[in-house]
Amino acid sequence: MSREVFVDCNVFEGMFSDEAVVELADASYIVPKHEVVETAGEKGKVKATLLTRSDGEWVVLPTSYSDTIPSDKVTISKIRA
């Protein structure tokens, strides 16, 4: 089962105008800029997918490699039904 969520992160400008760098769970990821919402200075939220599997819940980021992070390593601020 999967759901759309928003994950708290730090947001920085990417190398290109259509990308952003988000920092969360002690790592940085390049995501499309339109996937970042509610920015206030460096603070923001990135849209992601919460995936529930037999081995736990995982947050799948909108990166080119669909990077995954255990959900207990990030702060999920909103869940869309």
In tens digits, the chain (81 residues) has pLDDT values of 889 999 999 999 999 999 999 999 999 999 999 999 877 789 999 999 999 999 999 999 999 999 999 999 999 987 665
**For 18, which DSSP code?**
T
pLDDT attached to residue 80: 60
- 65 Cβ contact partners less than 8 Å away, ≥ 6 residues apart: none
The pair phi, psi for residue 77, each rounded to 5°, is: -100, -25
| Percent helix, strand and coil across the chain, each to the nearest 5 | 5, 65, 30
Residue 61 DSSP one-character state: P
Return the pLDDT at 40: 79
pTM confidence score = 0.88
Domains, the chain, ordered by start? 2-79 (2.40.50)
